[in-house]
Amino acid sequence: MADPLAITGLILQVIDTAGQVYRYCKQVKNADNEIRELFGELFALKAVLEQMSKERQGALDIQDPKSPQALSSESFRHALLSTNGILTNILDDLMERQLRGKSFFKQLGWPGKKEKFQGSIIQLERLKSYFILVMVNESSAMDKEVLSSINYLTDLGTQMREDSQKDLRQKIREWVCPFDVEASHRKARSVCQAGTGSWFIDGPFQRWFQGREKSRFLYLEGQSGSGKTVLCSTAIEEATKVTQGTSFNLALFTYCSFQLSASQKLVHVLGALLAQLSDQFPQALDGLEPDFRKKSLPSPNTLLQIILDYARQLKRLYIFVDAVNESDECEDIVNALLTLAASEHQIRVMATSTVASVTLNKNDLMRAQMKPSSNQSDIRDFVKVQLEKRPSLRYLPPRTKADITSTLITKANGMFRYVQCQIDLLSAQMTGRNVRKALATMPESLNGTYEVILGQIPLYNRELARDVLLWLTFSRQPMTLSALSEAVVIAKGDKFLDDECRLYSPTVILKICQGLVAYDEVTSVITLAHSSVKAFLTSDAIRQGPAAYYSLQEVDATRCIFQKCLTYLMFDAFQKPCQSRHSLRRRLKEFPLLNYASMTWGQYCGLHVPVGFALENSELDEIMAFFATCALHNGGNFRSWVQVLIPEAATGEAWSTEPLYYASSFGMTHVVERLIKSGIKLDSPGGRHDATALTVASYRGQHPVVKMLLEAGADPNLNDCHGVTSLGWATRKESARAFQSSCAKKCAASRKRGQ
């Protein structure tokens, strides 16, 4: 029979060891799944053992855990020793890894030992269950209230693991799909009129949707402004209506928005589809966790395979991708979609594009084209509703309404966007006579329509309107109305914005630029109303006409936005970082442009600048002055910027990372050159992953910077916290680029099989 005093001491020893492991694990940043599981088990196990310590009574030698006398049995003592042994092994591993460096420890994982570690967790869970069984049957030592508390703690440990996993999956979802798909869908639906598009929905769409066509790929073509996006949104609504509420049919969709560069990338197109797929299959995101930890986007091939794996569990999967022509990776996106459609019989794909935006074999797809004749009835119905809906048009004589309808149908040539703009212009007239006059002088084209709209902006608002259009045309991320209202009033040299500088109301932007911008009241995001607005503002045609003042050149716009963002980041209010995440959230709310300026200013002067753009010496001086604030006692504006750039990073990491790291990450070649000449340490580790400037430049694909750093003597053999060198990241990036040829081969093979 075991000594009851010895068992009591052993219980206390296990509690102490469990406490040490728990404290070590709490130091781990962005804990892996195994660490999170250990949190839950330690939480429950420690609570159970502490209760045992309080309730310890008697010393009977009974082997069965269901026996009320099991607390002092030899088997119970053996269970305690086993528990302590497992915890001690884990603790030794943790202590050894902590000795390898603080940053390494915070990025903790058990590479190469995960299988063994997972086994330890399972053993701890079984031992915890054994101890609970012992306590449940030790009725003399425990009442129902105590048992209820133990059960609650056990359930809480399980819930902690589940909540942590759910939170991780949400982060992965936002990482692979860094834009709001629902907002794009909402924008398309906002301009859709009920009953339109029946020629397509009741015809080609239904034949494809019901599988009456041989091809599983439906390709809708139409000229810019013809209403493809709205028609696609209607098709999505039809498919969602049928699949909603079923577990065997699913509809996924995304929009390649001209305003959202991320939405045009193949990896994010597939990421958006996978993010929606995870609503039904949450575990679909789990395979991306290793890449997420390293912040290394998965290859398109990986995402394709995951989608295909889960598609096999469905009876039918419908996929919709709008405006593939908006992307520079159009061919890759179409090839990936062809691969999906050809790989599994239950997958059906629909994509929209402008005419001849991509060359495809007729055998690959079912092609539907939007012709002027296709849209005539829809345009007629749209105009009829607008003439009754708009107060200024409702009371026009029937003959005037008939003339408006016939004129618009004739001149539109199937372009819904043209009709929408003309209706806006006509409804702005104050009298029926003016409506007649506007109808008689109605421009023949969409470009001509935009000239009229711009020409009606009062002289005193022209500068503001041009600034608004410049920011929205060349924005790198979605902009909120409040952020834009600050961006347009900043002047170089400003150190703050007061009420005298700000617009009286941000909504004046919507009024001044009516017809050219669109505003989402749900997200507060403002965008250009249509891709054709951007096309006109940056075209050669605008420079020759009456709207030449609004002509926009990318080089000039890039310089303007870069300078304003840097001016904003140098505001007096940001001379020192926030002391807590709460104060950082308050700062971001108080300064609505801060997030946009922090995230994008480096892009406007980095590797991906337009041809012909080069930083001037005075601008390089300004950047160097900004970077130099990192040496100030309080961290300066530089550390405040880094804090917004990577809010999830620990304070120490944000504080220790040198400017060379970020200049290299953004591809600021001339800035990197200046920093090297200043004698800065080339191999200082920094960022979230203890990487050198050379490593992050390799990871980002900043080839000119990589060459410059190597020539200056940077060490290519240094590992980041994941054990990967700069050469390792460069190799991985090259492997990802090989996806194009791989995807093309798959499509060719599918066609050869006659699929």
Contact between residue 619 and residue 626 where contact means Cβ atoms under 8 Å apart:
no
Domain boundary among 336, 370, 404: 370
Q: Are 675 and 742 within one domain?
A: yes
**For residue 755, what is the enclosing H or E element?**
none
Final residue in a domain of this structure, among 352, 370, 388: 370
Ordered DSSP codes for 44-93: HHHHHHHHHHHH---------TTSTTGGGSHHHHHHHHHHHHHHHHHHHH
Q: What is the pLDDT of residue 68?
A: 45
| Residues 295 and 208 occupy one common structural domain | yes
**Residue 363 covered by a domain:** yes
CATH classification of the domain holding 724: 1.25.40.20
Per-residue pLDDT at 361: 63
Task: Name the H helices within 530-658.
Answer: 531-537, 540-543, 554-569, 581-590, 594-604, 617-628, 636-645, 651-656
Nearest Cα neighbor of 341 from 316, 324, 358 is 316
- Assess if residue 314 is contained within a domain: yes
The two three-digit tokens of residue 696, written as one number: 């992050």
**CATH code of the domain covering residue 360:** 3.40.50.300
Check if the beta carbon of residue 488 is closer than 8 Å to that of residue 470: no
User: Taking a C-beta distance cutoff of 8 angstroms, is the pair 667, 607 a contact?
Assistant: yes
Burial of residue 88, with CB atoms counted within 10 A of its CB: 0-12 exposed, 13-18 middle, 19 or more buried:
middle
Tell me what percent of the residues of the chain surpass a pLDDT of 70.
75
- Residue 242 in domain: yes
What per-residue confidence (pLDDT) applies to 509? 96
Matching residue, tokens 């929905």? 201
Q: Give residue 113's pLDDT.
A: 47
Residues 356 and 387 in one domain: no
| CA gap 515, 534 in Å, rounded | 13
Residue with tokens 């629909």: 350
Identify the CA nearest to 150 among candidates 125, 131, 126, 123: 131
**Confidence (pLDDT) at 174:** 92
Spatial distance between the Cα atoms of 194 and 391, rounded to a whole number of angstroms: 20
Based on the domain organization, do 234 and 141 belong to the same domain?
Answer: no
Distance, CA of 489 to chain centre: 29
Per-residue pLDDT at 364: 66
Per the structure, the complete domain to which residue 346 belongs is given by 177-370
Owner of token pair 């694909």? 701
Pair of tokens at residue 701? 């694909």
pLDDT of the residue at 724: 81
Ranges in the chain, pLDDT < 50:
1-2, 4-5, 30-31, 57-70, 103-113, 139-147, 149-150, 153, 156, 735-736, 738-740, 742-744, 746-747, 750-755
**In a domain? residue 208:** yes
**Based on the domain organization, do 22 and 130 belong to the same domain?**
yes
Residue 424 structure tokens: 């806006």
Q: SS3 letters for 418-469?
A: HHHHHHHHHHCCCCHHHHHHHHHCCCCCHHHHHHHHHHCCCHHHHHHHHHHH
Is the domain of 315 the same as that of 407?
no
Q: How far apart are CA 247 and CA 347, in angstroms?
A: 15
- Classify residue 686 by its DSSP letter: B
Same domain, 202 and 276: yes
Q: If residue 320 lies in a helix (H) or strand (E), which one and from where to where?
A: strand 316-322
391 and 298 in a common domain = no
In the block, residue with structure tokens 């179409």: 334
**Is 110 inside any structural domain?**
no
Show which of 394, 414, 442 is a domain's final residue: 442
Residue 43 parent element (H or E):
helix 33-55
- List the structure tokens of 532: 């054709």
Count of beta carbons in the 10 Å neighbourhood of residue 610: 14
pLDDT confidence of residue 89: 75
CB 156 within 8 A of CB 43: yes
Q: CA angle 63-65-66, nearest 5°?
A: 115
pLDDT of residue 94: 65
d(CA 327, CA 333): 8
Contact 21, 120 (CB under 8 A): no
Give the model's pLDDT for residue 211.
Answer: 87
Rg (CA), the chain: 32
Q: Are residues 146 and 48 in the same domain?
A: yes
Report the pLDDT value the prediction gives residue 163, as an integer from 0 to 100: 60
195 Cβ neighbours under 8 A, 6+ residues apart: 381
Residue closest to 526 by CA, chosen among 493, 486, 483: 483
Is 274 within a domain? yes
Name the nearest CA neighbour of 603 among 713, 728, 702.
702
- Domain total for the chain? 4
CB environment 293-318: b (16+ within 10 A), e (fewer):
bbebbbbbbbbbebbeebbeebebbb
Q: Does residue 729 sit within a domain?
A: yes
Is 211 in the same domain as 270? yes
590 part of a folded domain: no
Same domain, 263 and 205: yes
- The first and second tokens of residue 222, run together, are 């139409």
**Edge-first strand listing for the sheet containing 517-520:** 479-480, 525-528, 517-520
Looking at the structure, tell me whether residues 263 and 355 fall in a common domain.
Answer: yes
- Region of residue 606 (left: phi > 0; alpha: psi -120 to 50; beta: else): beta
Distance CA 721, CA 699 (A): 14
